[in-house]
Amino acid sequence: MGMNITQKILKSHLLEGDINSKEQITVSVDQTLCHDLTGIMAAQVMESVGAKGVYTEASVFYCDHNTIAADSANSDDHRYLKTSAEKYGIYFSKPGNGICHFVHCQQFAKPGKILLGADSHTPTSGALGMLAIGSGGLSVAKGMLGEGFKLIPPKVLNIVLNGQLNPGVSAKDVTLEILRLISVKGGLGSIIEFSGTGIQYLSVPQRATIANMTIEMGAITGVFPSDDITKKYLEAQDRVGDWIELRADEDASYDESLVIELDKLEPLVAKPHMPDIVDKASALGDVKAHSVFIGSCTNASYADIVKASKILKGKKVHKDVDLTVGPGSKQVFEQLLKDGVISDLVDSGARILENACGPCIGIGQVPPENGVAVRTSNRNFMGRSGNNSASVYLVSPETAAATAITGFITDPRTVYDVSLLASIEEPDMYKVDNCLLIEPQAEEARASVDVLTGPNIQPLPMRGVLDKTIEAGIVLKLGDNITTDDIIPGGANILKYIANIPEFAKYTFCYTDPTFVKRAEDMGSSIIIGGENYGQGSSREHAALLPMFLGIKAVIAKSYARIHKENLINYGILPLVFRSNEDYDKLDAEDVLKIADVPNAVKKSTIQVENITKGYTFEVGIEISDYDRDVIHDGGALNYLRNKINSKTNS
Ligand code: MIC
Ligand code: SF4
C-alpha cells in the first residue's frame, strides 16, 4: 500500500512509536518558530533549564505581533527576545521583517521537513509540503532542546480541490467553503492533505492562505504536495536548492475525503463570531462596514494586495470606512512599492500599516462600540478585535476592497470587471534582502551574551507537585467552542503583560465574566466546566498558565482543541472529559467537586468525581498518553523537565 504525504513525513522523522497505531508517537523536529507573544515563554524555559543552544536545523524568534512599543514593556520584551536569540543560537527576525508565517514561507519552509511553531497558524508553511504544526511555547522549547514532538498518529483527511477558481473568487473563499462544510471541529485529530486537479493553479501564497486556516477547522495542520509550483516559488526566493518533489503515492489511502469543485465557488464571508458561520457575500444584505483591513498571515501576499488595489484604483474609499492595508512582509511591501501599488492604494484613501499582525489581534485599529470590521484575517471570535461589542466579518482581499468602496459588504464581481484580475500573479523573482533577519552567532561568541530583561519581565510562576486530593468549587460553567481569546483576550493594553503573569492574570476571562479573577482567588482552588472543543483558537499557553496561576486544578469539558489540551497538561491542569452530556447538565457553578488520591487517579483512564454539594458521584475520562500522565504527575512540564535534568545530573 502506498503512503500519503503525512505518512511519508512522519515515518522519516519517527523517534518512538508506530505511526499505524493509536498510541502517541514522537517525531524529530527540524525547525521551530516563536514570536514575541510566545517566544518569551520559550526563552524562559531555555534559561530555566540552563540550555546552551538549540538542536534544530533552524529556530527563529520573530518580532511581529506587538511591534508598536506603546511603552517600554513591549520594547523590553523585544530586547529580551533578541538577546535570548543571540544566546541560544536562534535567528532573530526584527520588527518590520514581517509576519512570522509569511517570512517563514519565504525564508525557511522546506518540503519534507517538520516545523514546530509556537503559534497556531504555523500550518501556513504546509503550503510548501512540510508538516508545520502549532503548539505552546513550552512544547516548542522542548522541540528546540531536541526532545522531539509527541502526537497521537493523526487521521488524514484528503481534500480534493478540482477545477479552477473563477476570477474574483480566491483562495480565501476556498478555505471559507471548507469551514462551511466541515465546521470548526471538522478537522479535530486530523491532518488535512490537499490534492486534486485544481492545485496546479494555486500559487504558494494561495496555498498558504488555505493551509493557514486548517487550524480554524480544528486540524493538526494542512499540507500541500511539493510540485512544480513549489519549485517555482523557491526559485523566486533564490533557494531552489531546498526543493524536493513530494507527493502522495498513487495508491495512498486516506481516512476520509472531501471533494470541492473550485469553479462552483463564489465570494464568501464568515459572519460573527465564528469562522465557520459562512454565507455568500451576495446574500448578506446591507451590512455596513466601519473599517476594512487587508492583511494578516492569511491574506497579505503580493498578489492579494495587487488584486485589492486594482479594484480600488481610480476610486475612493467610502466616506464612512477606514481602510488599512498591512503587507505580509518587508519583501511584499518592497515589491508593492516598486510596482507603484502602494501609491495607488494611498491615492484611493487606504492607510498603510507596518508588516505585522496588528489589527488581527486587536493591536491597533480596534473597532468602535458595536462597530463592524471587515477583515481578510482568519478569526472573528468575540473580543478578538480588542472590543467585545464589535462584529468581525472575514473575507477575501477582493471582497474587502469592494466593501471599502461601497461601505457595505460587497461581492467584488458587482463593482469591478473581475476578469481583469485573472492575469495577476506573484513575481517571477522576489527581492531577497535579509537585513532584518539576524543570523545565529558561532557558539564561542554566544557564551558571553547577556540576556537583557526589564521590569515587566517576571520569572515564570511554577506550581508544586500534583495535589493529593482536589476538593474545589466550580468557578465557571461554559458552553461549546470556548476560544483562547475568551480565556485571555488580545489587544495591546492586555498583551503588553505577556511576560508579567501576575498582571496578565487580572484579565483572565475578563469579557466572559468580569468577576472570574476575584472569585477564583477567593476560592483558592477551583475547577472550570467546558463544552465541546474547549480552548479552540490560538496556541496561547497563557490560556492554561493564567488559570494555573489562579488556582484552577482541573477543567472538565466535553472535548478539547489539541493545542490547548497540550498546554493544560504542560501547566499541570487535569484535562478531564465528560463521559455523558447528562453529567455536564447536572453541574452548576459553585458545586464543590472532589477527586480523591489524584496521583493514582491520573494513572488510569477513568476518574471518579464526587459532587459533594449534590451528593452523587460521576465518572470522567482522562484521555492522555503515558508520557503526559508522568508530566501531570510531576505537576507540569517544567517540573518534569527539571526532574529529568536533575536525575541525569545525579546519576
Ligand atoms: C493568534 O492569532 O491568536 C495569535 C496571537 O497569533 C496566537 C499566538 C498567541 O496567542 O500568542 C496563535 O494563533 O497561536
Ligand atoms: Fe498574527 Fe493574526 Fe496571524 Fe495570529 S492570526 S499570527 S495574530 S496575523
* pLDDT score of 465: 87
Ligand 2 centroid distance, CA of 361 (Å):
7
Ligand 1 center to 297 CA (angstroms)? 11
The residue whose CA has the least distance to atom 2 of ligand 1 is 538
CA dist 615 and 272 (Å) reads 41
Residue 25 has pLDDT above 70, yes or no: yes
Contacts of 353 (CB under 8 A, 6+ apart): 295, 324, 325, 326, 359, 364, 365
Model confidence at 649: pLDDT above 80: no
Q: Is pLDDT above 80 for 173?
A: yes
- Indicate whether 264 pLDDT > 70: yes
Half-sphere exposure of 590 (CA within 13 A, CB side): 2
CA angle 568, 44, 527 (to 5 degrees): 20
Q: Is the CB of 329 under 6 A from ligand 1?
A: no
List the residue whose alpha carbon is closest to atom 3 of ligand 1: 538
Contact assessment for residue 198 and residue 164, using Cβ atoms and an 8 Å cutoff: yes
Dihedral of the CA atoms 106, 109, 115, 117 (nearest 10)?
A: 0
Q: Supply the pLDDT for residue 10.
A: 98
Helices (H), 237-376: 302-312, 330-338, 341-348
pLDDT at 432: 97
Beta strands in 211-321 (DSSP E): 221-223, 256-261, 268-270, 278-280, 291-294
- Strand segments, DSSP code E, in 118-198 are 131-134, 149-151, 155-162, 190-195
Q: How far is the CA of 345 from the centre of ligand 1 (A)?
A: 28
The grid cell for 219 is 486540524
In short, whether 64's Cβ falls inside 6 Å of ligand 1 is: no
pLDDT of residue 457: 92
| Residue found by looking up cell 468525581 in the block | 609
Identify the nearest ligand to the CA of 376 by its number: 2
The pLDDT of residue 492? 87
* Cα 38 to ligand 1 centre (Å): 8
Which pLDDT score is estimated for 651?
59
Q: Is the CB of 119 under 6 A from ligand 2?
A: yes
The residue whose C-alpha atom lies closest to atom 6 belonging to ligand 1 is 119
The answer to whether 487 and 66 are in contact (CB under 8 A) is no
Q: Residue 49's pLDDT is what?
A: 79
What pLDDT, on the 0 to 100 scale, is given for residue 249? 98
Q: How close is the Cα of 559 to the center of ligand 2, in Å?
A: 25
The kind and range of the H/E element at 212 are: helix 204-212
Pocket test for ligand 2, best of 296, 299, 394, 495 (most atoms within 8 A of CB): 296
Per-residue pLDDT for 349 more than 60? yes
Pairing of strands 606-611, 592-595: antiparallel
Q: Is 538 near ligand 1, meaning CB less than 6 Å away?
A: yes
Predicted confidence at residue 50, as pLDDT, reads: 83
120 lines ligand 2 (CB under 6 A): no
The mean pLDDT of 357-380, rounded to a whole number, is 96
- Ranking 100-104, 311-315, 345-349, 488-492 by mean pLDDT, the lowest is 488-492
For residue 298, give the ligand 2 atom closest to its CA. 3
540 alpha carbon to ligand 1 midpoint, in Å? Answer: 6
**Tell me, what DSSP letter sits at residue 490?**
-
- Read off the pLDDT of residues 294-344 as tens digits, 9 standing for 90 and up: 999 999 999 999 999 999 999 999 999 999 999 999 999 999 999 999 999
Residue 650, all three cell numbers: 545525579
Instruction: Read off the pLDDT of residues 521-576 as tens digits, 9 standing for 90 and up.
Output: 999 999 999 999 999 999 999 999 999 999 999 999 999 999 999 999 999 999 99
* Ligand 2 contact, 639 CB (< 6 A): no
All cell numbers assigned to 184:
470548526
**What nine digits make up the cell of 596?**
480523591
pLDDT of res. 641: 75
pLDDT tens column, 467-485 = 999 999 999 999 999 999 9
User: Which residue's CA lies nearest to atom 7 of ligand 1?
Assistant: 538
Angle made by CA atoms 259, 265, 270, in degrees to the nearest 5: 100
* Ligand 2 within 6 A of CB of 385: no
- Say what the pLDDT of residue 51 is: 87
Please determine, for residue 648, whether its predicted confidence score (pLDDT) is greater than 80.
Answer: no
Question: Residue 505 carries which DSSP code?
Answer: G
In sequence order, the 6+-apart residues with CB closer than 8 A to the CB of 162 are: 196, 197, 198, 259, 260, 261, 262
* CA separation for the pair 66, 356 (Å, rounded): 8
Averaged pLDDT, 29-53: 92
Q: Indicate which atom in ligand 1 lies nearest the CA of residue 119.
A: 14
Reading the block at residue 203, the C-alpha cell is 500559487
8 A C-beta contact, residue 295 and residue 358: yes
Q: How far apart are CA 226 and CA 128, in angstroms?
A: 6
pLDDT for 646 equals 67
Mutate to test the pocket of ligand 2, among 215, 360, 366 (most ligand atoms within 8 A of CB): 360
